[in-house]
Every structure is written in structure tokens, then in C-alpha cells.
A = this chain, B = another copy of it.
Amino acid sequence: MLGVRLTAAYDGAGFAGFAAQPGQRTVQGALSDAASAVSGHAVLVRGCSRTDSGVHAEGQVVAFATARELPPERWVAALNSQLADDVAVRDAVSCAPDYEPRFDAVDKTYRYLLHVAEVRDPLLRGRAFHLGRLLRGGRSLDLDAMRAAAALLEGTHDFRSFRAAADARENTVRTLLSVTLEPGHAGDPALWAIEVCGTAFMLNMVRILAGTLVEVGRGKLSVDDVAALLRGEGSRADAGMTAPAHGLTLLRVTLGRAQASPPAP
């Protein structure tokens, strides 16, 4: 068997998340079906990030084992011809057949988009969280307070208050390498990007971090409140809302390349 590692992009709107589930259209299912069709045998692709239902990706990493011998660059066109237009393979390289992208990921970067405007924008629909009525009296968000809170989130902390109740993992300590805010993203003054890079995440963690930063920007939570949550004072209910899935995109994954083999000839 040969191994193939892919970078994939998708619009999350049409998928019940990444992870395969019976009777649901999922990204893992769609990519596995395409890889199976090209391979001529059943394939289950392994992913790097189990993105929630509705979450987008520009740089999800998946890998699979196949009996089909194809130069890696041929896999891109072969798989894309099998895929619907809301998911695409961007590049392909050879890897070990048992390569596990999840274990090779050094860090992952997510971007959360806020649409900071009273009136909705039809062209940002499904891509950014429209704050609308959350902006009282047409006011914007307090960028300085949000940046101060973002700086506190960086580093190694107990993020137990920033995960979904359904996440039952015992170790809730995680390391965020950077949390940055970019107002005016993509040239649109009303579009604010929150970019979070970390080594590992818990269920809904980035969406809860985004929701918490929104509450800091609105003055509903203070920077001190966030500091207290990171000290383990309080619980999930004291952090911000889980911001909606459609504002979130998995941008890229840094791989250790420990298990990746050189490109096929």
C-alpha cells in the first residue's frame, strides 16, 4: 500500500462536520468516497481536525492508504473530478501508508470572522458572525479591551471554562501560541478577524474563545473576568457564548513531517 497526504478546503455549510457519521453528508465521508472511487477499493481518510458542522476549512490535512499507484499531483485532479464543488483538494504528496496527520500536527491555526455592523451583509452570509443587535446603539466593539484579553489567552493555561460541556477530557490544559485581532480583514472595515494558533484544542474551544472576546468587546465581560477564568475561577457559564460555526475556518496545520516520505518520482 502507498500513502497519500492531502490539503483540502471546504465550505462547511453543506456538511454535518468533518467526522464521518452514518446517514449524514460529512467531509470525511465525501473525501473517503472520492478516494475509494479513484483507488478502486474502500478507503477511509484520516483527518487532522474534527471541524464542527458548518465550520469551513482552507487547509485541512487528511491522509489515506491506497493500492492505486498515481503520481501525487495526479491525485489532485482525480479526486477533484469526483468531489462536489463545495469541497476541493488543493495539493497532494506521498507519505507513509500509516501516516497519521493528527499525530504529526505541530499546531493548527483557525480564523474566526466577526461582522461588526448593525446591518447584515448578504455577501458575508455564511462566512462571518453578524453582530447586529449585539451592538447596542450602533456602537462598535472595544478593540483595545479585546486585544488585552487576547494577550491573556496566549500561553499555557487551564481552558476548562472554554470548552463545550460535552467535552469530557480530563486534561484541560492547552497552549495557545498566538491570539490576534485584525479589524479591516480583507479590506472590509466591518470585518474583524480573530486568529488563534495552538497546539491542541477542545470541543468548541475556538468558538467559545471568539464568543468571549465578543463579550469583552461589548463590555459584558472585563479583561479581569477573563484572567479569573484562566485562573480556574468560574466555569463554562461564566465565559462567553459559543459563537456560531459559520464564522470559523481552519486555516492551516503545521506538520512535523516526521512521517512524511519524499515526493514520489
Verify B120–A80 contact, CB threshold 8 A: yes
List CB contacts (< 8 Å) of A9-63 with chain B: 9-11, 56, 58
Instruction: Check: A119 CB closer than 8 A to any chain B CB.
Output: yes
A binding-site residues for B, Cβ under 8 Å: 9-11, 56, 58, 76, 80, 85-91, 119-123, 125, 127, 185-187, 249
Q: How far is the CB of A115 from chain B (nearest CB, A)?
A: 11
> Assembly of this chain: how many copies?
2
Verify B56–A119 contact, CB threshold 8 A: no
Verify B123–A9 contact, CB threshold 8 A: yes
Verify B187–A122 contact, CB threshold 8 A: no
Q: How far is the CB of A77 from chain B (nearest CB, A)?
A: 8
Verify B11–A85 contact, CB threshold 8 A: no
| Selected A-B contacts with CB under 8 Å, 12 pairs | A9-B121, A11-B125, A56-B123, A58-B121, A58-B123, A76-B119, A86-B122, A90-B119, A90-B121, A91-B119, A123-B127, A185-B187
Q: If A186-B186, A186-B187, A187-B186 touch, does A125 touch B86 (CB 8 Å cutoff)?
A: yes
Bound-state Cα–Cα, A220 to B186, Å:
32
For residue A123, which residues in chain B have a CB less than 8 angstroms away from its CB?
A: 9, 11, 56, 58, 127, 249
